[in-house]
């Protein structure tokens, strides 16, 4: 816990499944929080994060307003800002605006749809900072979604700004490396030499896929196992049980080899979906970008997708540039840097 002295600013990225924080100086924090299940606990959770890094000023970005615990995005924004006001304890509070500025909480409440789902924009600005070519792109894959944004001359060049329009043009893809139900990725798969239908049920998620392939770490002692489809631990053995259930099979009939083969089929389907979106978005550039910045803990999926395209673009990993923990909280880090005046 950071206790030495107050930092100038602490930025929060409030999502529907995770809360992330960063101070723009190298400190970061990330923890799962199922907002849609426990929205009444948001103030409590925000306070527990804020006390880890005392600051003179709070700024925030969000995507959690789309959580279905709220009747509309407007209400979601209002509820999130209300919780932020309650934990700010008199400190200056700013909200990241899609216009690229930090606005006051009052302005944010007057323009809720201009601050809703804004973290991708800050993330794209951070990615642009690490490019040097005129033609680039950022592919940011997290637990739930994929954001794809063109970068021209080191500036974000989005075709749309709202979630509705971004999903329509391919810049927002609802697939990620933890929370995507396997049943939405594949309807049938090979097992025991036969093409078999899969259960249209929430028996397994992409977390089990990438865990089985060794791309995500086991979290046996994790306190919140509700992030898995069956509420059991985040381990490869339990992932195999969940994947087996997609075929309505028992674990004793579904070997580790079976699990890996099935996981690879799921990963291939996900990478095809992401590759299609990347190619669609890249049409703005008239061809493949010279550089692609990879962000988020779903970098493994991004690399598979880009590999399918056969591009020769230079890949820049924010995980390599910033370190794993800071890269996971990259949108919060970006907003903190913007608030500090360290990022154009």
Pull the structure tokens for residue 235.
């381990």
Q: Say how far apart CA 294 and CA 148 lie, in whole Å.
A: 10
Identify the pLDDT of residue 337.
Answer: 98
Q: Say how far apart CA 256 and CA 252 lie, in whole Å.
A: 10
Domain ranges for the chain: 10-117+325-340, 120-177+271-322, 182-270
Identify the pLDDT of residue 268.
Answer: 99
**pLDDT, block means (10 residues), the chain with 344 residues:** 71 96 97 94 98 96 97 98 96 97 97 97 98 98 97 98 97 98 98 98 99 92 70 96 99 98 99 99 96 97 98 98 94 98 90
Identify the pLDDT of residue 2.
Answer: 46
Beta carbons of 31 and 17 less than 8 angstroms apart? no
CATH of domain 182-270: 3.30.420.190
Identify the pLDDT of residue 222.
Answer: 47
Q: Specify the CATH class of 10-117+325-340 in words.
A: alpha beta
Beta carbons of 24 and 337 less than 8 angstroms apart? yes
- Predicted structure pTM score: 0.94
Identify the pLDDT of residue 221.
Answer: 57
Q: Specify the CATH class of 120-177+271-322 in words.
A: alpha beta
Fold: same for 10-117+325-340 and 120-177+271-322? yes
């Amino acid at each position: 816990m950071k206790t030495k002295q107050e930092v100038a600013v602490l930025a929060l990225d409030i999502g529907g499944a995770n809360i992330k924080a960063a101070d723009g100086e190298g400190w970061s924090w990330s923890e799962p929080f199922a907002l849609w299940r426990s929205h009444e606990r948001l103030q409590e959770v925000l306070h527990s994060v804020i006390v880890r890094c005392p600051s003179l000023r709070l700024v925030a970005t969000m995507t959690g307003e789309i959580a279905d615990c709220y009747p509309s995005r407007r209400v979601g924004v209002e509820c999130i800002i209300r919780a932020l006001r309650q934990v700010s304890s008199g400190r200056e509070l700013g909200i990241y605006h899609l216009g690229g500025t930090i606005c006051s909480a009052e302005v944010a409440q007057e323009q809720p749809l201009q601050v809703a789902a804004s973290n991708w924009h800050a993330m794209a600005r951070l990615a642009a900072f690490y490019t040097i070519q005129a033609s680039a792109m950022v592919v940011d894959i997290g637990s739930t979604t994929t954001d794809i944004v063109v970068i021209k001359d080191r500036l974000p060049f989005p075709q749309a700004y709202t979630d509705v329009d971004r999903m329509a043009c391919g810049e927002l893809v609802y697939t990620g490396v933890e929370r995507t139900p396997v049943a939405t990725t594949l309807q049938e798969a090979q097992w025991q030499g036969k093409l078999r239908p899969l259960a249209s049920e929430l028996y397994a998620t992409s977390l089990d896929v990438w865990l089985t392939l060794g791309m995500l770490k086991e979290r046996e002692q994790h306190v919140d196992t509700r992030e898995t489809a069956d509420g059991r631990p985040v381990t490869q053995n339990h992932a195999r049980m969940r994947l087996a259930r997609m075929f309505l099979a028992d674990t004793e009939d579904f070997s580790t080899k079976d699990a890996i083969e099935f996981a690879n089929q799921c990963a291939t389907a996900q990478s095809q979906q992401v590759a299609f979106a990347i190619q669609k978005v890249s049409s703005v550039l008239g061809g493949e970008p010279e550089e692609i910045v990879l962000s988020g803990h779903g970098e493994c999926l991004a690399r598979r997708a880009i590999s399918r395209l056969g591009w020769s673009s230079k890949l820049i990993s924010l995980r390599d540039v910033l370190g794993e923990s800071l890269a996971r909280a990259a949108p919060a880090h970006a907003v903190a840097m913007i608030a500090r005046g360290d990022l154009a």
